[in-house]
Structure 1
Amino acid sequence: MILDQTKNTFLLQGDTCCWICDKCEEYEYVHDEFTCKDCGSGFWPYKDKLSCYALELQYMRWHTPYAFIPAAFSCLGIIVTFAVIILFIKHNDTPLVRASGRELSYMLLFGIFLCYLNTFALLAKPSTEICIIQRFGIGVGFSIIYGALLTKTNRISRIFDSASKSAQRPNYISPKSQVFITGTLIAVQVVLTLVWMIVEPPGTRFHYPTRNQVILKCKIQDMSFLFSQLYNMVLITTCTVYAVKTRKIPENFNESKFIGFTMYTTCIIWLAFIPIYFGTGNAYE
């Protein structure tokens, strides 16, 4: 008679033979009276140890605080961003809006909106389509924001550098030129993201941090994700340098001071993000 959760082992000691029962491992099932077999990755034995069942896939659920709280903040951010866009449109022809650089401001607001929207892609159940959206959203969204900020600070820096040397107006400071420069900076990130998708095709994979845990994740290696953000880090670093250079300009152009404060904060956040990202790489939450 076979005992549940055990296998029989035959022992021979001199002229006496007997049987003892060895307990199967917690991830094994009783294949026959002599053998325990591993259920395999993604499977776990029933309580009676006679067969195995597929483990439930783990991924971010919308009803959990880990998803609900970021989604709520993103909704609030989207509402505020839309309110600012409407305010800009309403006062589109006023001197204040024109002085702030309407075109770059709209691009900046669109980048912020895209980043807030990407939160929902990061919280959604992983699929090939969702993973594609995540890659484009994270990379391109940040490049729109920091590309626009870099173009703004570069323009201010060149204007004051030129004014201190000659009365000649510097090149490429018109709104069309600024949009073209920003668009070029964004296009670089788009190309890099496309290359990333060719080298590492998007998709999903199963991750097994423990024997009884299966996590559904996008097929992205930790290092490849960081490499994909190197270009944005270059934009952030360059923008921070220009923010430092323009920190002492007249009060009428104090927008650069706010940009500088934003960039200092961004650098701190990104420096904190890297160890946190690697330290919690196995946790989908």
Structure 2
Amino acid sequence: MLYLSTFISGSSNASPLPAVALQASICCVLPEKKQEETSLHHYLKNLHFKNALGEKIFFDENGDLAVGYDIISPVFLPDGTRINEIVGSYNPYAPPEQEFTIYEKAMTWDSTFTKTPPEFRCSPSCLPGFRKLTREGEPLCCYDCIPCPEGEVSNQTDMDACMKCPEEQWPNQKKDACILKVITFLTYEEPLGITLTFICIFLILINTVILGIFIHYKDIPIVKANNRELSYILLISLMLCFLCSLVFLGHPDKVICILQQTAFGISFSIALSSVLAKTITVIIAFHATKPGSKLRIWMGSKVSLFIVLFCSLIQTVLCLVWLFTAPPFPYLNKNSEIGTILTECNEGSIVTFYCVLGYLGLLAAISFIVAFLARNLPDSFNEAKYITFSMLVFCSVWVSFFPTYLSTKGKYMVAVEIFAILASSAGLLGCIFFPKCYVILLRPERNSRKCLSKYKNY
């Protein structure tokens, strides 16, 4: 036998009515074999009866009362008498969010009661931007609040784990929301870009002045002795090297990315080919002055121009293969810097890119070796000495460039590459042409055929 006794304070259609106490006793007989297999909730769903007012009382499928009822608060009078005060009602058929009605004026609070809810946890709540870390060996309500790691946020209180931001977004300072990353690139307006632009323009002006000096004094011995056509080609190619560094500034697009690498590779190949041709010309000129030398047929500007064209053509072919196979393209680097997206140029084909760089390194190495071997030729103005020193500066700049480039991030990588282009080109310009300009402008007495050669026996 199971006895269920229910006490209900009812109301009709959720309209506030005086509380009516109803005592109903329901007697249900259950087979003894099914007592352990059947829950009380199953029988409550099928329970229907009427109260003293004739209202139908029953439970719905969730086990909740399907009729309205009053909310009663017990009140103790000064004489100790207890009465039940109606302080609200519930109507399941009311519009959404209007099911409950509370009569605040009818509520009477004890003098010892405070509006602060009782604390039911042993640790304070973790604010957004933090996550909970349960203390080992303590109850679950005891935990520490630790900040979310880099790239993650928590936007709710008491979160067990932080959430990762999308790839295009990054946490704000409080780590309670994801914000869009800032897209950055090296521009002309920022101080670093302005400085590099000023250096580039300054070097271009110096290069132009030197070219003007050589054109103006084209018939003097010191200019003619060192193959003035190669000097013109070298000065123009160095000017192109300075100009190509400006292409690395600003927002890169598809055309800019192609120009960056091809202009850099071809202009430097022309410059290094000119240096190599100058060095070979010095060696041929020295040995051709010996009696019976067969190298006289190699004297002249045609051989030098052929060396420049042939060496530059190889680099041009490599660049064309690069462009037709996998050309450079603009790329959004989302992992270079924290909280920013760097717009840069992707090399496309890494193999072809390193072939272009390797060919420039090969030209520089050959020029350095040949100039080094010819540095001690008996001449009062042996250009091989200055070429040797210029190639030493050139190689030193680019050897130190690679570890510096790989250790920097973001737009500073672009700044390092621009600086390497400017420094190496300035090294060639200064070491090869400054001594000549010094003789032309300040020591004109040394600018004579007699002073340029000491080969009195030839």
Instruction: Work out which of the residue numbers 322, 336, 345 in structure 2 matches 1:218.
Output: 345
CA contact (8 A) 1:157 1:245 kept: no
For the residue of structure 2 that corresponds to 1:229, the secondary structure is: helix
Aligned length: 277
Farther off after superposition, 179-188 or 27-36:
27-36
Alignment partners' CA distance in 1, 2:217 and 2:251: 40
Offset of residue 153 of structure 1: 0.6
For the residue of structure 2 that corresponds to 1:123, the secondary structure is: coil
1:45-92 per-residue CA deviation (whole Å, 9 max, x = no partner) reads: 567878644211121132333222221111111001111122222223
Verify: 1:78 aligned to 2:204, yes or no. yes
CA contact (8 A) 1:42 1:211 kept: no
Alignment partners' CA distance in 1, 2:285 and 2:213: 28
Report the structure, 1 or 2, having the larger helix content.
1
Verify: 1:155 aligned to 2:301, yes or no. no
Q: Which one has more relative contact order, counting CA pairs under 8 Å at least 6 apart?
A: 1
Offset of residue 113 of structure 1: 0.4
Q: Percent identity?
A: 27
Equivalent positions of 1:19-30 (< 5 A) are 27-28=151-152
Alignment partners' CA distance in 1, 2:131 and 2:361: 58
CA contact (8 A) 2:185 2:344 kept: yes
The verdict on how the C-alpha distance between 1:173 and 1:279 changes in structure 2, with shifts beyond 3 A counting, is farther
The one-letter amino acid of 1:200's match is A
1:219-277 per-residue CA deviation (whole Å, 9 max, x = no partner) reads: 12796544421111111111111111211123244112111111122222222222222
Q: Which residue of 2 aligns with 1:132?
A: 258
The verdict on how the C-alpha distance between 1:250 and 1:164 changes in structure 2, with shifts beyond 3 A counting, is same
The one-letter amino acid of 2:363's match is L
The verdict on how the C-alpha distance between 1:210 and 1:87 changes in structure 2, with shifts beyond 3 A counting, is closer
Instruction: Work out which of the residue numbers 350, 358, 380 in structure 2 matches 1:230.
Output: 358
Alignment partners' CA distance in 1, 2:236 and 2:220: 21
The verdict on how the C-alpha distance between 1:179 and 1:123 changes in structure 2, with shifts beyond 3 A counting, is same
Alignment partners' CA distance in 1, 2:173 and 2:156: 16
Offset of residue 188 of structure 1: 0.9
Alignment partners' CA distance in 1, 2:372 and 2:175: 66
- The normalised TM-score by structure 1 is 0.82
Q: What value does the CA root-mean-square deviation take over the aligned residues?
A: 3.2
Q: Which residue of 2 aligns with 1:177?
A: 303
Equivalent positions of 1:1-285 (< 5 A) are 27-28=151-152, 37-45=163-171, 52-164=178-290, 166-207=292-333, 208-210=335-337, 212-220=339-347, 224=351, 225-280=353-408, 282-285=409-412
Structure 2 unmatched runs, 5+: 1-126, 133-139, 413-458
Alignment partners' CA distance in 2, 1:210 and 1:125: 17
- The normalised TM-score by structure 2 is 0.53
* Larger CA Rg, structure 1 vs 2: 2
For the residue of structure 2 that corresponds to 1:205, the secondary structure is: strand
Q: Which residue of 2 aligns with 1:13?
A: none
CA contact (8 A) 2:152 2:164 kept: yes
Structure 1 unmatched runs, 5+: 9-16
